[in-house]
Structure 1
Amino acid sequence: MNTDSVISSITPIPTYQLYGEREPWPTPDMVHCEAIAARSKLHNWHIKPHQHSGLFQILYLEKGEAEVRLDDKTSRMQAGEVLMVPQLCIHGFRFRRDAVGYVFTLAYPLIHQLTRRLGDRFASRFARFGVPSLHRLGDDAEGDYLRMSFRALDEEYAGNLPQREALMEALLTAILIRLTRSTFDAQPQQQPPQPRPASRSGGHFARFCDMLEEHYLSHQPVAAYAASLGITAAHLNLLCRRAVDKSALEMIHERIVLEAKRTLVYTSMTVSEASYAVGFSDPAYFTRFFKRATGLSPKQFRQQAEALHR
């Protein structure tokens, strides 16, 4: 099969950071929380089919109903259910206007960080969420725990209290462990249809995303990633353009900038120390790189973040 024809077939599906937004990940947090209504109301409660690169979503529907599209299949989602959506899964929603719940969007760097802490066994189990899955919360202590955790995570995200990041990561860890247990230690009551197998081109792009997470601190050139995938740098750039409307180099730079933001906001490192931490040997070059990407110097970005979190 011609690779270009496979790529062309997916171009009508938009790829967003968050639905309706094409800007880079907006904050130094690696998780974003919002009420279902916050975004759905803006789109008449209809989230059209789209996909995300590098983002994993957990949608908890507390009240109401939704029609859920996953790739080319449609299913119903009821109150008390949780939907797990991995990156590059085409998904869309048509919510009833009384729908209440939360959407939690996790950057894959955070997923990798949390799963590594929990060991290989958990990581291998969590990897099975590479396809979307739907779970019903029980009317028991386990279900109550998850409902409480979802609400607590949303409240913590909206606040600016000390140790906010640590508590959010603890809540996310608990949520992921509980959802993994309920999925693989007991038969889920409802499972949506499996998506179509990824195309070879889609597989190359997903593998590039994984490799980027593993090697971004070493600042490897695009050609090195392409060689590891067995394709040319031009082909890799084409895949990235088709999937997320960015070049491979832009994706590499965005990942480095995200880590730099987190280092500046959540550690007490000096700008020079932060530059070394994210793979730069010259702090002056790091400052120019960061300002070109964000419009602010590292010092200005840190001051702005500190003002927001007071």
Structure 2
Amino acid sequence: MITKVQANWTTKKKLTTVPNVRLYVDRPDAEDWFVHVGHVTDRGRWKTEPHAHPAYGQVIFVRNGHGIMNLEGYRVPFEGPCALVLPTGCVHGLDYELDADRWVVTIEQAYLTQVNAKLHEFIAFWSLPRIISLSHSAEAGMAFYNLIGRLQQELDSEAVGQVVGIEAVLTTLLLMLLREARLDQSRNDGAMRNDVRLVDRFRKLIDQHYRENLPLQDYASMMAVSLVQLRAACASAADQSPTKMIHARIITEAKRTLIFGDMSVEQIAFWLGFGDAAYFTRFFRREVGQAPSQFRIAARNQSHHKVLPHGPT
């Protein structure tokens, strides 16, 4: 738990973590938007520093061109045609090579949750950032391009049933990506859907409380289920124990802060709710295989040494 001394320290020092960015919508009056499509027409090389969108999920369709996506400190190359899938809160930076042609589909979190509820594989699909290549056939890239165009048309129209039309095209678009990603679709019975919903609620609670060092029973009580039910659901839908899921969320935030922030290891330990830095270091080493300081040096060196690949001349 965070002590009084630690709390006082956090009020005196501004913590540098990953910036959260709100989406710029080109219609200021569109306060009730839930899906947005933007065609990026900037010429030349284009780069964004690592950031996160806490209230949106995004699909970036790169029709042609190539670049590097920085995911949690790891630099992953991509080349169009492809789709970059960025879940809510995913820390990412993008470095596009010259004149990459791309569309950005942004989906508001509450609406994305509704879409995910239609098919439990969607929840697994959005659980991790992905680069989905569409280069295996000309038809795949063109089909996705056409879906983006249809989605834009529905957004721009004022026809009867506009929202239904948007939802239909968006669902088709996500289903195409899901199939391209070749996710395991074998477990789709009713019990599995219930487990997925329960685990999704658990993940949201973890996001809210992972720095508070809550007992597992507190999470179960907030969800009005027993510990047995929670453990069984996590094993079924996430292949992890609930404790492991909490630890994974802490490690994710620790890694982000070590790579992108300027806090010391001791400061990060207190910020994440650990009583002392030594315990945090042991915990991190057990989960990651390196001490926090070693991980920070290795991750930053990797980020600095990799270069952007060049296409054919």
Q: CA deviation at 1:128?
A: 3.9
| Structure 2 residue 57 is matched with structure 1 residue 56 | yes
Matches of 1:44 and 1:101 in 2, distance apart? 13
Counterpart AA for 1:169: E
Say whether 1:107 aligns with 2:104: no
The amino acid across from 2:95 in the alignment is R
TM-score normalised by structure 2 residue count: 0.51
Q: Which residue of 2 aligns with 1:12?
A: 17
Structure 1 residues 204 and 63, CA, compared in 2 at 3 Å: closer, same or farther?
same
1:27 matched residue in structure 2: 31
Report the alpha carbon displacement of residue 68 of structure 1 after superposing the two structures with TM: 1.1
Q: What's the counterpart of residue 297 of structure 1?
A: none
- Please tell me the residue identity of whatever aligns with 2:222: S
2:56/2:108 contact within 8 Å kept? yes
Aligned runs of 1:268-279 on 2, under 5 Å? none
- Report the residue type matching 2:61 in the other structure: Y
Question: Deviations for 1:244-292, whole angstroms, at most 9, x for unmatched residues?
Answer: xxxxxxxxxxxxxxxxxxxxxxxxxxxxxxxxxxxxxxxxxxxxxxxxx
Tell me if the contact between 2:45 and 2:99 (Cα under 8 Å) persists in the aligned partners.
Answer: no
Return closer, same or farther for 1:9/1:50 CA change in 2, 3 Å cut-off. farther
Tell me, yes or no, if the aligned pair for 2:63 and 2:141 is still in contact at 8 Å: no
Taking the aligned partners of 1:10 and 1:106, their CA distance within structure 2 comes to 29
Larger RCO of the pair (alpha carbons < 8 Å, separation 6+): 2
Cα distance in 1 for partners of 2:127, 2:149 equals 25
How much does 1:69 deviate?
Answer: 0.9
Q: Are 2:226 and 1:228 equivalent residues in the alignment? A: no
User: Between Structure 1 and Structure 2, how many residues are aligned?
Assistant: 191
Query: Structure 1 length normalisation: TM-score?
Result: 0.51
Aligned residue number for residue 206 of structure 1: 207
Distance 1:139 1:9, change over 3 A: farther
Residue type of the partner of 1:65?
Answer: H
Deviations 1:20-39 (A, max 9, x none): x9xx99531211110123xx
Cα shift readout 1:38-79 (whole Å, capped 9, x = no counterpart):
xx66x9722221101121100000121222111111111211
Partner amino acid, structure 1, of 2:21: Y
SS of the residue aligned with 2:33?
A: coil
**Helix, strand or coil: the match of 1:173?**
helix
Contact kept, 8 Å, 1:126 with 1:180, in 2: the verdict is no
Q: 1:10 to 1:52 in 2, by over 3 A?
A: farther
1:155 CA displacement:
3.1
Q: Percent identity?
A: 21
Inter-partner Cα distance in structure 1 for 2:205 and 2:113: 19
RMSD: 4.1
Q: CA deviation at 1:124?
A: 4.1
Aligned position for 1:192: none
In the alignment, which residue of structure 2 is the partner of 1:170?
168
Aligned residues of 2:62 and 2:80 also touching (Cα < 8 A): yes
Contact 2:45 2:97 in 1 (8 A): no
Residue aligning to 1:130? 127
Gaps of 5+ in 1: 187-201, 209-224, 230-238, 244-310
Which one has the largest radius of gyration?
A: 2
Corresponding residue number in structure 2 for 1:154: 152
- Would you tell me which structure has more helix in proportion to its own residues? 1
SS of structure 1 residue aligned to 2:126: helix
Task: Deviation per CA, 1:79-126: give whole Å up to 9, x if none.
Answer: 10101001111111122231112001101211222232x3xxx22453
Offset, 1:2:
6.2
Secondary structure at the counterpart of residue 15 of structure 1? coil
Output the CA distance in 1 between the equivalents of 2:21 and 2:29: 10
